């Protein structure tokens, strides 16, 4: 009886509650005090309280719907629509004319896509399997030739050495045919199996068994991109590190002044490339506010303008260098002719 009996510590007669060791507390019920007028109204209309409660619920539901409607995240509210800015500074008037009145008709001209300039080279009897060559070749697609040679040189694999020799071979072929090595990109690399060569395999106790050595062939296809397309990547801050090194070396040899170094800062350092990306975005945003056009369209137009300017300067410098080399060769040829005569 002692084990199942409840132990009451104290009885509170004032609040009619029990003090227990549990966490729950018995709440005291206080009867509602009503006035004589409220009691009279309840007797006359016993459903008045339910009707008032229903009215209050409807009012709360209406207020909640209005709160949801006024939120900034609500797309059905016209106040939350994005404000469209229309540039009405230039008002164009279009006059409708007949075909006979149009002296200069509107003609849609389709410009064909420019064909790619490609040069390829094949290296056979490469003593490496496809399993070792394919993971090295795959990341080099659409990469600048100098950048690809730098990436292969840092690989440290034996299969990468054969691929590096193939790139040097194809580059020499391109230079001999008059291609610009600074505009060469890797278009594709095709790797396939070649003949298996028989060799001897030596075992213990003077045993010799035949074995076959697996070889492969590598076909590298280079693409000479237009000067404008090359400088589009450079203007966007995608200049290869090898190109940056060559430009630094050329500026040092020319003893360039501060203004020229500052003009080419976006090609030389990582900080300059980062600032170039930021300045392109700011220029596009500024023109977007002024003209009201798309950000992507303006960004693309700015890149094309910058690339066109750099491409013209590059072609002018290349033509001047070619003319200088041609004159030097002609002078040397005339001197040799005079000596022979």
Q: Is residue 61 part of a domain?
A: no
pLDDT tens across 42-84, in order? 888 888 778 888 999 999 999 999 998 888 888 888 888 777 6
Domain boundary among 208, 225, 242: 225
Is residue 307 scored above 60 in pLDDT?
yes
Q: Is residue 69 part of a domain?
A: no
Domain boundary among 196, 225, 254: 225
Q: Is residue 22 part of a domain?
A: no
What is the mean predicted confidence (pLDDT) over 11-32? 57
For strands 208-213 and 197-202, give the pairing.
Answer: antiparallel
For the chain, what is the domain count?
A: 2
Reported pTM:
0.58
Best CA proximity match to 224, nearest among 144, 123, 156: 144
The percentage of the chain sitting over the pLDDT mark of 70, rounded to a whole number, equals 84
Predicted confidence at residue 89, as pLDDT, reads 55
For every residue of the chain, which 3-state class applies, written as one string?
CCCCCCCCCCEECCCCEECCCCCCCCCCCCCCCCCHHHHHHHHHCCCHHHHHHHHHHHHHHHHHHHHHHCCCCCCCCHHHCCCCCCCCCCCCCCCCCCCCCCCCCCCCCCCCCCCCEEEEEEEEEECCCHHHHHHHHHHHCCCEHHHHHHHHHCCCCHHHHHHHHHHHHHHHHHHHCCCCHHHEEEEEEEEEECCCEEEEEECHHHCEEEEEECCEEEEEEEEECCHHHHHHHHHCCCCCHHHHHHHHHHHHHHCCCHHHHHHCHHHHCHHHHHHHHHHHHHHHHHHHHHHCCCHHHHHHHHHHHHHHHHHHHHHHHHHHHHHHHHHHHHHHHHHHHHHHC
| Per-residue pLDDT band at 154 (split at 50, 70, 90) | confident
Structural domain of residue 319, as residue ranges? Answer: 230-337
Based on the domain organization, do 326 and 266 belong to the same domain? yes
Based on the domain organization, do 216 and 281 belong to the same domain? no
């Amino acid at each position: 009886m002692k084990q199942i009996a409840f132990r009451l510590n104290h009885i509170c007669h004032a609040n009619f509650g029990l003090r227990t060791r549990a966490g729950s507390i018995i709440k005291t019920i206080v009867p509602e005090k009503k006035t004589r007028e409220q009691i009279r109204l309840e007797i006359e209309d016993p459903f008045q309280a339910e009707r008032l409660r229903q009215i209050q619920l409807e009012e709360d539901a209406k207020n909640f719907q209005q709160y949801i409607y006024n939120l900034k995240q609500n797309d059905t509210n016209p106040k939350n629509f994005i404000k469209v800015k229309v540039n009405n500074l230039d008002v164009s008037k279009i006059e409708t004319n007949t075909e006979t009145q149009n002296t200069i008709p509107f003609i849609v001209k389709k410009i064909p896509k420019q064909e790619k300039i490609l040069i390829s080279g094949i290296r056979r009897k490469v003593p490496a399997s496809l399993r070792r060559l394919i993971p090295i070749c795959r990341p080099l697609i659409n990469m600048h030739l100098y950048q690809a040679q730098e990436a292969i040189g840092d690989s440290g694999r034996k299969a990468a050495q054969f691929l590096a020799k193939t790139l040097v071979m194809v580059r020499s072929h391109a230079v001999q045919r008059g291609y610009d090595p600074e505009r060469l990109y890797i278009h594709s690399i095709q790797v396939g199996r070649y003949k298996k060569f028989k060799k001897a395999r030596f075992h213990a106790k003077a045993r010799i068994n035949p074995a076959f050595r697996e070889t492969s062939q590598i076909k590298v296809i280079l693409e000479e991109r237009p000067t404008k397309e090359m400088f589009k990547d450079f203007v966007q801050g995608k200049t290869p590190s090898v190109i940056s090194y060559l430009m630094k070396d050329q500026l040092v040899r020319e003893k360039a002044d501060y203004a020229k170094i500052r003009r080419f800062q976006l090609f030389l350092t990582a900080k300059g490339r980062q600032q170039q990306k930021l300045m392109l975005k700011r220029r596009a945003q500024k023109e977007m506010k002024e003209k009201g056009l798309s950000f992507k369209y303006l960004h693309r137009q700015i890149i094309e303008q910058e690339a066109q300017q750099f491409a013209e300067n590059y072609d002018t410098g290349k033509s001047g260098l070619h003319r200088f080399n041609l004159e030097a060769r002609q002078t040397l040829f005339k001197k040799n002719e005079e000596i022979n005569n």
